Amino acid sequence: MDNADQLSRRALLVATSSATLAAVLLGPRGTTASAQTATTGARGAAGSTGTTPVGAATALISLTATASGRFSRVRAVDDDTRLYLTYPAAAGNLTGQQVTAPGYYGLDFAAYPAGQQAAQYLQDLFDNTPFGYLGFYFTTTGHPAQTGSWTGKAVGLLAQGWNLIPIYVGRQQYWPHTTDNQISPQTATATTQGKNDGNTAVALATNEQFPPQSRLYLDVEATQYASGPNKGKNGPPTVATIAYIKAWLAQVNASGKYTGALYDANSHWTQSGKTHYDAVDINASLAGAAPTTWVAWDPGAAPTGVKVGTWPRDPNGDVAAVAVKAYSTNPQWGFTSFAQSWQFKLDWKPAGASFLTDTGAPRQYTAIAPTIDLDASQSYDPGNTAPGQPKSQRRPAAASVTASPATTQPGKSVNLTVTLDRPAPAPNGAVVLLRSSSPQLILPASARVAAGGTSAVVSAAAAIGSPAGSVTVQARVLHQLSGAPPHATIQITPQTSLRPSS
């Protein structure tokens, strides 16, 4: 929920200017989960200590097959997979276990990044962090055109591998600004408004070439009184507001092209001594028409009666999976009984936080956005923009490496061709790591496949004086961990001696 004017109407938890991504996502360093037992209490909001009902324990991950390789550097862990890694004494040897994650990470921010390097930064972000999806804001009255418009960017972001969450900031129950963006108090008029806005959302998604059956999310901010002594204060959703939401969802669904979804707040109000929450009341009012729902709520601290804990992290120091679930019986967590996704950290100011790019150089998050919302979901694809394709399947992997010629002599070179299983994304391309089983075969540590390309050629040379023998060259991309990565075998044969003629 990134419209600045609307955000000002809600109390948000803001990270300090010295916050780092580790501090926000991981919280205080605690005892790490064992790769073998891998169970811990479910965790609450990022950086907070809110977690599990006292006495409860929740398995956050499940182990799958052991994986190993001859590579000492592994980053860019998929959001749909976590890696438990160990580093034995043998140089360059890496072993570990892949684990399945029931919770998936994404992020959103109000404006597309500024500057000519925006596309590069966003590909770096996708390739080198656990984040797998981005919020994508349509230009509407509720989210007006501005520097950093997302318009025209969907195709490129999908090609980079991102899943997107298309967001339509629609009319609101109370709109305090000069433009008209308020839901009519008349139910019939509100229904017409919902239908018209639903048609607009479909047209915008069509223009952006979103894939068929993508979920379009209607952004409903905190419902507030539009008139009277409580004007501008949180209150219950009106009959007209529910009519508007229903009409918008029905119109998107009726298009046959896209599916309506809801993105709303967990704001609350008190009535007759009872505390109510927007997300829960709206869901109940929609009844059988309730769609896939994404709820924005930053609790900021441990819920009452919840055992203090730490944000889970695996032994490799990476963010562990977070299940979207109720962390206490407190009604403020009621949305977890139906919501698929949770916006758990609002307006994080990432000053000082960075991630490593594929070159190993740090990239500041502030180069992407001044504030960021962090998301968790039960789906790796909340927007349904690449169904059936987890992040690990949306990034290129090394499919093969071949040598020409396959036989060489000391002091001679061969060409190695590394081939990917799909074109490398724009604009950065893809980095492939190369390793030799023998120091006698000298080759570069990495090769870059250019954007749109599927292969790269590098030269490898047998050292002068190399003994005869067989050398194996392995290749993989940064995130690709396999017990049997693609490889090529090169035979080094004795150098032919020149004998004087008689």
Confidence of residue 49 (pLDDT cuts 50, 70, 90): very low
Sign of CA pseudo-dihedral 25, 28, 34, 38: negative
pLDDT > 50? residue 155: yes
CA pair distance 376, 297, nearest whole angstrom: 11
pLDDT of residue 84: 52
pLDDT of residue 414: 96
299: CB partners within 8 A, 6+ apart: 44, 45, 48, 50, 332
| Confidence check: pLDDT of 91 > 60 | no
Average pLDDT over residues 481-497: 82
User: How many whole angstroms separate alpha carbon 383 and alpha carbon 13?
Assistant: 26
- pTM equals 0.81
Percent of the chain having pLDDT more than 70?
A: 72
Closest listed residue to residue 271, CA positions, set 237, 240, 304, 299: 237
pLDDT digits 0-9 by tens, 310-346: 444 444 444 444 455 666 677 888 898 899 998 888 8
Q: Average of pLDDT values for 171-177?
A: 95
Whether the CB-CB separation of 216 and 201 falls below 8 Å is answered with yes
Q: What is the structure's pLDDT at 336? A: 84
Instruction: Single out the residue of 469, 471, 470, 443 nearest to residue 457, CA to CA.
Output: 443
Q: Is the pLDDT of residue 221 over 70?
A: yes
Averaged pLDDT for residues 336-359: 84
The arithmetic mean of pLDDT across residues 493-498, rounded, is 70
* CATH of region 4-393, choose from 3.40.50.2000, 3.40.630.90, 3.40.50.970, 3.20.20.80: 3.20.20.80
Q: Where in the chain is the domain with CATH 2.60.40.10?
A: 396-492
How does pLDDT run across 99-123, given as a tens digit for each residue?
A: 555 578 899 999 999 999 999 999 9
State how far the Cα of 204 lies from the Cα of 198, in Å rounded to an integer: 10
Residue 65: pLDDT over 60: no
Helix (H) or strand (E) segment spanning residue 191: helix 187-207
- Tell how strand 104-108 and strand 487-492 pair up: unpaired
In which residue ranges of the chain is CATH 3.20.20.80 found? 4-393
Residue 475: strand, helix, or coil: strand
Strand order in the sheet with 469-477: 407-408, 487-492, 469-477, 430-436, 446-449
- Which CATH class for the 396-492 domain? mainly beta
State residue 77's pLDDT score.
Answer: 54
Which residue has 């040379």 as its token pair?
461
Residue 344 has a CB neighbour count (10 Å cut-off) of 23
